Structure 1
């Protein structure tokens, strides 16, 4: 029997999860299949790699020795996929991803066209939901990876910044705050706000930046919470309140003059959009190719 990468990946995942059953779930395998592959690896090396107990498995001395080599092999495969993805123009496959609302509605549609011209044999299926839902679906293996509007910290997830964005204050066209070049936060507190719902990346970034600047987001006069960026823009245009949204979502309304777009004094709502996926997952080459496209291209020509 020859040593293979698949077995090392399984071994590393069992070691990370501390459980054959949890590793099986992360790898989309049955527990007996995971056990069989570990046994084959132990047969290859002629030694036990795990001490099994009723609660969890622990590495033997041999297993602890193998672990850093298994980790290096996984990292090398990932680096290889990234390096080779730029040459895979005839790659065929399906790119299935989740995107939070601002990314899915206003950013990716402008990028999928150029990506499709470069990789015409990759078809795209995109699910547009909020950041909280994407996190849940990635953790539950319903999505392979997602693009979200705020950094996500979770022990089981790999998170990587791939795009940048900035939030702006938006006002109805005749709003009094339009007289300011830079709108003081104290002035914002005087007017009603229409915001995205709790759980959205846009809402989270806004609240975190206000807090970092020394202001309490709970002091905002929130009169309405809506589940999409488009609904928020329509409510602001109708004069129901003011809001803070991604500048990427405001180009059409700003060009038509139906909304005013302003900066807030002493507060910068700069953020990154992040790719998230399970640390134990080796992404399909179509996903690696798309993420490489986002990292290495000058996207400003399309955005």
Structure 2
């Protein structure tokens, strides 16, 4: 079907005649009439019936006019939807995040994002470091917010947003509470650690190997950060954890730091995407937002607790 002719006929039907349609379309009346005649020839029936100086829609004309109205309304809806999508205001944003940013950073970041992009559907999945990389590579997510040590991964682009110090913590009643000791002494304490695949756990074991120190004994294992901290509060073991996750507990004197001689370890927080792939507009808008949000975290006080 000649959509150009259909669009002109639609305008004739909407405006109530050829004269008004020609004025609206800024083309001559003969040109409008010619396009309607061409459409009638293509369809095999009349669309307009003469009425004095004007024209009436035939039954066939009313049928075609109804279809044309719906068609061009859908066209406008498609154009509007595409504009919103390109501007990052509609679509689905799939994020995978490790436990630290998922619990301490993303709730605030996503709240701000949704205020600005209420029509975007956000799907957030919380996993460990190994699973975050896998989900990104397998296209289960478009953006990964990753907390922990990083080794170069084929196909993954890494952009560091901020970093936070890693702390050793113990119960307040522990002999090492508030003390400065060696790493070998620290490793004599049973540890409460995350599951295998956690970057913080891998950092601790890697550190022991690098410094030729016996690795920690794992007394308890949890899949979440909060559970591990609460176990220390309850009086058992030690934990190796980002200060961002435990600073408030230390300031409230619910747990105590242990200072390991000669060690200052930082925990990077990064946004990861697939290399050489253009982000969708919704993901581009999200990444742009969090780049701005990290400025507050970079200005916060560190250490000294």
Q: Do these two structures clear the TM 0.5 threshold for a shared fold by scoring above it? A: yes
Rounded to whole Å, the distance in 2 between the matches of 1:128 and 1:302 is 26
Normalising by structure 1, we get a TM-score of 0.62
**The one of 241, 248, 251 aligned to 2:244:** 248
Aligned counterparts of 2:109 and 2:195: Cα–Cα separation in 1? 26
DSSP 3-state at the match of 1:151:
coil
Partner of 1:222: 218
The count of corresponding residues between Structure 1 and Structure 2 is 213
Structure 1 residue 186 corresponds to structure 2 residue 152: no
2:111 maps to 113
Offset at residue 210 of structure 1 (A) = 4.2
Alpha-carbon displacement from aligned partner over 1:63-104 (angstroms, at most 9, x marks no partner): xxxxxxxxxxxxxxxxxxxxxxxxx6x834432200011111
TM-score by length of 2: 0.62
Q: Does the residue aligned with 1:219 lie in a helix, a strand or coil?
A: coil
CA distance in 2, matches of 1:141, 1:301: 31
Q: 1:222 Cα deviation (Å)? A: 2.1
Match of 2:142 among 131, 141, 144: 144
Instruction: Indicate the residue corresponding to 2:256 in structure 1.
Output: 260
User: Which of 237-246 and 293-302 deviates more?
Assistant: 293-302
Structure 1 unaligned runs (5+)? 1-87
Does 1:277 find its partner at 2:273?
yes
- Report the CA distance shift for 1:154/1:234 in structure 2 as closer, same or farther (over 3 A): same
Shift of 1:176: 0.7
Give 4+ residue runs of structure 1 displaced > 6 Å after superposition: none
Equivalent of 1:207 in 193, 205, 214: 205
Mapped partners of 1:274, 1:136: distance in 2: 16
Q: What runs of 5+ residues in structure 2 fail to find an aligned partner?
A: 1-86, 301-305
CA distance, structure 2, for counterparts of residue 254 and residue 107 of structure 1 = 19
**Counterpart position of 1:158:** 157
Give the match's secondary structure for 2:106.
helix
Q: How far off its partner does 1:120 sit?
A: 4.8
Alpha-carbon offset, residue 254 of structure 1: 2.4
Compared CA separation, residues 99 and 274, structure 1 to 2 (3 A)? same
For residues 110 and 183 of structure 1, the distance between their equivalents in structure 2, rounded to whole angstroms, comes to 37
CA RMSD of aligned residues (A): 2.6
Alignment partner, residue 79 of structure 1: none
* 1:134 matches 2:132: yes
CA distance in structure 1 between the partners assigned to 2:267 and 2:171 by the alignment: 24
Does residue 294 (structure 1) correspond to residue 290 (structure 2)? The answer is yes
Compute the displacement of 1:118 (Å). 4.9
Contact 1:138 1:278 in 2 (8 A): yes
Structure 1 residues 128-162: Cα deviation after superposition (integer angstroms, max 9, x where no partner): 11111111111211111211223242222222222
Q: Secondary structure at the match of 2:177?
A: helix
Q: Check whether the contact 1:162–1:295 (CA below 8 A) recurs between aligned residues.
A: yes
Tell me which of 225, 234, 238 is aligned to 1:238.
234
The structure that has the greater radius of gyration is: 2
The correspondence of residues 26-41 of structure 1 with structure 2, limited to 5 A, is: none
Match of 2:173 in 1: 174
